[in-house]
Structure 1
């Protein structure tokens, strides 16, 4: 078996490569084909834990969240070969390098331009292995293939396309303006052999009268020999988690009318610079009557009610983001909300921030005093915990239901609820013995040091990512059934099937001589 390869390139970052790739994965899977996604290199702090293909690895490996969701769309089991190289930014000029699911200290320390020669062989091998096991491999590029300053060290765009002779689509964001210039300029900057792999242009995020596009499509075809094969209307609520960036900086009302809820709730996620795994909050956008806000200033928290939530998400640089949070005055705003009985949730790095101290003897993240909202201490370890976890919120005397008044706690409904998710962290967090002796203690809410709630019951800290993607948790917290990922994937496939020119998608995986 040697898979046909379809590659989705973009004229810029944010053009729509990730969701189009996801849609193609589901489209081809619905044809009864065995499909796998692939992205040679992803730069994102949104990562998932998947099976590792290396026999000696413990616990699993990391890949970008986008490839994780693409694998699910393809009805495939996610594995590290689907995103062999993951760069996780820790500072503006530094990223942690994850190769084949495992952190590589040597590659992390290596200059960027010298890295490609070392990582290309395992990247090519991962792609070849997937091609040997599947009918179709849908490949996502990164940024633009015409970044000529990077072409000599390219390992993610046209080098990949040439390696597997992929049939390429070039996607542009027409809502930004300049779409035809972006398409022509990208094509023109590519060498002739690479141009020949581009089989169609896709105009994404179109708003308006499609008739007004003429005569540009024909002019572009005359100049390049490549047709526009799809004009995709703007689609705000497709339901797929965003790969990068805050997906909505404004207040977002989920499906339904807030007036239908007894206690309409605002959920504020603190958007610090190195926050990670923000895609896990996508399901909250679909909860009826819930307002989701991304917050970067104390003023945005000033009008919260105790029934509202503040979430401190994960962080790729916990001590740095904690320092930023203090510099903005958000530490006091969070503490004030908690003092009034307001609900506060910290996840992973956010949990670590809620404690009394961060202790770093290995140079992993940095020492720092915590926010002091949970009497916990985090000690950073050299070894990184990377694993998928299935567990259950406790129901015994240390559990939420017995620790707090169920009428006032946002978290009481979780008692006894099964939950699945994933861990990606360096820290080991434990109860601070001095505070415990003084009577200031936490109660465990998950086994194996995965979660704690304060004595008052309003401040909750968890190491488990992905809680809001678990239907049982959503039902317990909100009484809500939100659309499943399968529903979202089918919607994406329906969308591209409707808006691509007839026969194009099937021609991409036909014989090389088949016309598009």
Structure 2
């Protein structure tokens, strides 16, 4: 049976689905095929904005699918990620449908959303199948979550809709990979098992020959071959969730080493923009962990007031304020900018509450959350550095400056002494501004990352060599 869609599902969250999907997009694009990525529903606070030349410009979609579109050499389009869920609390997520926040769907209980979301998923999927030679589909979580089968719009329901050839990946570095694969297969319905073409062991370290006879045993149990053993690849891609920050350098650095402290906010967003800092970035959760910090960045947040309360409860709010008073550079980005201001008002209950909360008072700014979300790519001139900067904005906040703060770019960039705030995500991805920021902190530039395109080429080459590619490619003939 041939297929025009190739799907990567995982035994668990963080099994490497996004990474493998990006690799497959680039492998197939390198063969001259027109390729599009697709993930029906993504739960992530890492998002970006579609470019002006997109069919759907200035709209919000998951970071992973933006990266996969780059891998496929395709113009990003919100049809590639029709549903984006942005967690705001343990039991609440903002629903972004086809690039726009949807308050009515956000208020619906989880299981009642399917009837309204599935038609949009179907239309988006089929429109991509009609336009492209191959669609590379990424699942979410695990198809073994049988309690979610009736409300599924992202795993096997999508596979069946597209009649996709499905690869099931397990993170072998966690251990128990063969049990994960066998157990997941047992949880599938017969029609779903028929679509499952191959198993992939991901993030393997060591000698792959030592795996025998386990792959052969697994195939005897299931009839499904193991079609790849992908090694652990030290080639970073922008992450989809908070795992990247959790994997930051372990243990406190020497007091004199110097680093950039980034509070590990419970609802942190768009943390991939700190990748240019490399090992200089250090997640912190307590005041003692700020020892040796040469700069502090307050990152974006999907629940600004709640994360501000967390800063106060942990003591980080007071510690950051003291560092700012000592001249340490402090930068707030989006939600972090709002926290640095004098107050945050939420009259429409955008974050679930309607009260005004005091900010840290390090910038003379007052933010009010509007019902409508601003999403756009932005270019601005920073008169402080003389630089032209590029990034993107995703925020409900409307911020008004008081007399105590210097507005560097209207509605986008402010400074008050050594404290700066901006709505521009991706600010540190401008190399010249990164150099200036680290210069203010007295820190050296880290080694530059290779370009995203060169990393994607390297990842594709190594993943392709680790797969039984002729067999997988044959499924699409």
Query: Secondary structure of the equivalent of 1:212?
Result: helix
Query: Secondary structure of the equivalent of 2:146?
Result: coil
Which of 452, 457, 469 is the matching residue for 2:429? 469
Query: Secondary structure of the equivalent of 1:269?
Result: strand
Contact 2:3 2:165 in 1 (8 A): no
Contact 2:347 2:369 in 1 (8 A): yes
Q: CA separation in 2, counterparts of 1:251 and 1:7?
A: 30
Which of 240, 244, 269 is the matching residue for 2:237? 240
Deviations 1:150-186 (A, max 9, x none): 1111100011001111011000011111111110111
Match for residue 362 of structure 1? 348
Query: Secondary structure of the equivalent of 2:236?
Result: coil
Question: What TM-score results when the alignment is normalised by the length of structure 1?
Answer: 0.86
Q: CA separation in 1, counterparts of 2:247 and 2:393?
A: 29
Which of 83, 98, 102 is the matching residue for 1:104? 102
Query: Secondary structure of the equivalent of 1:124?
Result: helix
Q: Does residue 168 of structure 2 align to residue 170 of structure 1? A: yes
Shift in Å, 1:472: 4.3
Match for residue 46 of structure 2? 46
Contact 1:52 1:101 in 2 (8 A): no
Distance 1:51 1:109, change over 3 A: farther
Which of 277, 280, 287 is the matching residue for 1:284? 277
Deviations 1:387-416 (A, max 9, x none): 11122212xxxxx2xxxxxxxxxxxxxx12
Query: Secondary structure of the equivalent of 1:150?
Result: helix
Q: CA separation in 2, counterparts of 1:250 and 1:185?
A: 28
Contact 1:51 1:80 in 2 (8 A): no
Shift in Å, 1:378: 0.9
Query: Secondary structure of the equivalent of 2:311?
Result: helix
Contact 1:250 1:293 in 2 (8 A): no
Match for residue 381 of structure 2? 392
Match for residue 93 of structure 2? 95
Q: Does residue 369 of structure 2 align to residue 376 of structure 1? A: no
Q: Does residue 413 of structure 2 align to residue 451 of structure 1? A: yes
Distance 1:250 1:45, change over 3 A: closer
RMSD (CA atoms): 2.2
Which of 447, 450, 453 is the matching residue for 1:486? 453
Which of 397, 415, 419 is the matching residue for 1:427? 397
Q: Does residue 467 of structure 2 align to residue 500 of structure 1? A: yes
Deviations 1:222-277 (A, max 9, x none): 11111111111222x31201111141446549xxxx9xxxx974111111101111
Q: CA separation in 2, counterparts of 1:197 and 1:140?
A: 14
Q: CA separation in 1, counterparts of 2:362 and 2:241?
A: 29
**Higher mean C-alpha deviation, range 108-117 or range 311-320:** 108-117
Which runs of no fewer than 5 residues in structure 2 stay unpaired?
439-444
Q: CA separation in 2, counterparts of 1:52 and 1:171?
A: 35
Q: CA separation in 2, counterparts of 1:203 and 1:127?
A: 27
**Higher mean C-alpha deviation, range 37-46 or range 183-192:** 183-192
Match for residue 18 of structure 2? 18
Which of 266, 291, 307 is the matching residue for 1:273? 266
Deviations 1:110-168 (A, max 9, x none): 11111101111111000111111111110000011121111111100011001111011
Number of residue pairs aligned between Structure 1 and Structure 2:
463
Question: What TM-score results when the alignment is normalised by the length of structure 2?
Answer: 0.92
Contact 2:276 2:448 in 1 (8 A): no
Q: CA separation in 2, counterparts of 1:272 and 1:495?
A: 34
Which runs of no fewer than 5 residues in structure 1 stay unpaired?
395-399, 401-414, 511-516
Q: CA separation in 1, counterparts of 2:313 and 2:459?
A: 41
Contact 2:331 2:419 in 1 (8 A): yes
Match for residue 30 of structure 1? 30
Deviations 1:414-471 (A, max 9, x none): x121221111111111222xxx2xxxx22222x22101111x2x11100010122234
Distance 1:3 1:79, change over 3 A: farther
Q: CA separation in 2, counterparts of 1:72 and 1:168?
A: 22
Match for residue 194 of structure 1? 192
The aligned runs of 1:76-91 (5 Å cut-off) are: 76-91=74-89
Q: CA separation in 1, counterparts of 2:201 and 2:119?
A: 34
Query: Secondary structure of the equivalent of 2:349?
Result: coil
Which of 284, 290, 301 is the matching residue for 1:295? 284
Distance 1:52 1:80, change over 3 A: farther
Contact 1:359 1:368 in 2 (8 A): yes
Q: CA separation in 2, counterparts of 1:384 and 1:310?
A: 27
Match for residue 331 of structure 1? 317
Contact 1:89 1:274 in 2 (8 A): yes
Q: CA separation in 2, counterparts of 1:232 and 1:491?
A: 13
Q: Does residue 97 of structure 2 align to residue 130 of structure 1? A: no
Q: CA separation in 1, counterparts of 2:317 and 2:399?
A: 20
Shift in Å, 1:508: 3.3
